[in-house]
Structure 1
Amino acid sequence: MALTSTGLLVVLGLLALAVFAALVLGRPRLRRRGAQMATRAVSVLVLNVLVLSLAGAALNDQFGFYVSWSDLAGARSPVTVTHHGASARKAATAALGHGVDVGGAFSAATLAAGRIQHLDVVGTHSGVHAPVSVLLPAGYSASSSTRYPVIEALHGFPGSSTSWLTGMRVQQALDGLVASRTIRPSIVVMPQINIPGNIDGECVNGPRGTPQVETWLAKDVPEYVAGHFRVDTRRSSWAVAGYSEGGWCAAMVGLRHPDVFGGDIVFSGSFQPEFTRAYRPFGTTTPARYDLIRLARTAPPPLAMWVQSAKPDGYSYPQTARFLKAVRAPLSVTTDLLKTGGHREPLWAAELPTALTWLAHNVPGFAA
């Protein structure tokens, strides 16, 4: 029985009522007075333990202090790893169509010297026109028959298409794991997500006339990459990753488009959009399609997720705890819960090798 389940509260409540009723009725009735007093004393102790346990479970259910029994058992550990839902490999390999669409005949991108490419991309479906940075594997060649897995990496707010190269140090982390044969050489695609650049738009498709950023990230960018780079288009070779606002975006894009992405990495993200006063595309009511907690409970897709949060992080942790409580198979979620730390880039950069190692071990396209 899960630590955060309603069933646990019901069982504890019924047990407490049963012990209380037995005390009131004087059960069990024993002939020896000493034995009777000892039994009542034990019953009172058990009742107190049950009442305290019920109160603790109710508080934990409301505030999400611990998300699972393993989290509770590791209360003094600096990091707790938990798992919810289906197996990650099963979720990442579920058959959901043919993977990423290629919007036309393959046309190799014209590349400048070096592994880091800065491109100007126009989305054919969304109409978004924005920069996209690409980190290529060492030795990448457009004429080679080798096809690479892809990580679509989403920055936070404020941020740019190069934020994963600077603050997150993704090239150093990935190269180190490739050198140790932990993960396959991979292409990292880093699109601009704040469109226009000064707006925290939460990556959503707003009403007509507003930016269609979800379509940009889930359809245009993957199609452009598949049409211009040597990539494996199967969903088990595609992952989306993000931190902070980009963590929300990665969770949303992955959960709403599991036909494209088999893997999903979320650093300190939320699971419902949090718009600022400067941009509220839906007014005061956000469409239900962007409630990922509800989605995980009512229509979970087969997706392998790795979710990191820190318990002192007031932006990420409360929603993470609620999301984990809702997770059901075929969705798979592995968590990396830190007891200390907050909401900052150095923390996420330090956890990036752990996330990439998980990706290599659980999403087959990235296995070395």
Structure 2
Amino acid sequence: MLPTAALFLRVLNENTTLRDETELKQKGVEYLAALAPLVSALAESQSQALQGVSAEPASLTAAVARVQGLDERLGEDLDTTSRWSGLKEKIGRLPGISGSSQTIYDSHVEVGELALELYGEIRESTKLNMDPQSDIWFLQETITVNMPEAVTNVSRMSDSANMLAGANQRQRAALQVQLGVAVSNVEDSVAELTDNLQAAAEDTESSTLAGNLVSNLDSFRRGIEAANRGANFGGNPDVSTLVTAQSTLSTALNALTTVTLKEMSTLLDERSDELRVRQIEAWALLGVSVVLLLVAAFWTRSRAVKVSDSADAGRDVSVRDDSTGPGSPPAGAHSAGPYDSAPNYGGSATGRERSSALR
């Protein structure tokens, strides 16, 4: 029974570890679902601040409150509390920032970078970046790296283009460089995002992943193309085209983010269910093994007792047979001594003749 118990404990410990890791990843996905609206709200806040609106957008207020609630519940497990506290403090200071457009832009860029770092913290603390399942790995790479970078870079591209459109000659050279960097970053983010989503769709057993991703990815890419046309890098930006493109892109990006998070959550739920079934099977096999071992032990013990009884009976019979062997007197016969027998002086001699002879 000891080897059986040892094997069971090893399987159970491995299964428990996998279940704990999966549960942590599920918590990470829940947190990521709250961060996506936060990044979009930060982009909106940046655009409004550059247009002279100092008040915090309602979308940003709601997004911060939602992340705060999740961090209070999951922050200790995900190790995000410290980083979120710093980001939240920086977000609270944004409405009070004044000065030139470049100063306001740089302040929002700093906050945006902190938000991207929070994505990385979740990605590493939950070990989503080390997941062995191919489709989950590509999806987490899209959600934690490509999507937030794409949102951030598109926002910076659009706002840099708008700043360039209203800049004087002295400012235009620096803004051209800033816009060029943003355009390049957008192209890189979108290319990586597309490749990762296509890889996830090609290497998955999910029946819904491919179909859901393709349509939403197409809408997202059309929004990116429209934003690039509005930025018109190397020429004069088209502000009206940028505004329309940002609205279209925001809708497409929200839909794509929702679908991607849902698909990854479904894959993790399926893994959790499979591990739960394995645990039940392990307990069932242990129970069957113990019962079989007990039955085998009882049967072996009973068999040993029967064999022992048969051996004892055989020894008793052997002792009785030795006492009635050849040369032994019949049962019930009197055993006489050597002086009890009379000498034989002739088979037909009478008692008188024997008496005369003696005389």
Q: TM-score, normalised by structure 2?
A: 0.28
Which has the larger helix fraction?
Answer: 2
Structure with higher RCO (Cα < 8 A, 6+ apart) = 1
Which structure has the larger Rg over C-alpha atoms?
2
Q: TM-score, normalised by structure 1?
A: 0.28
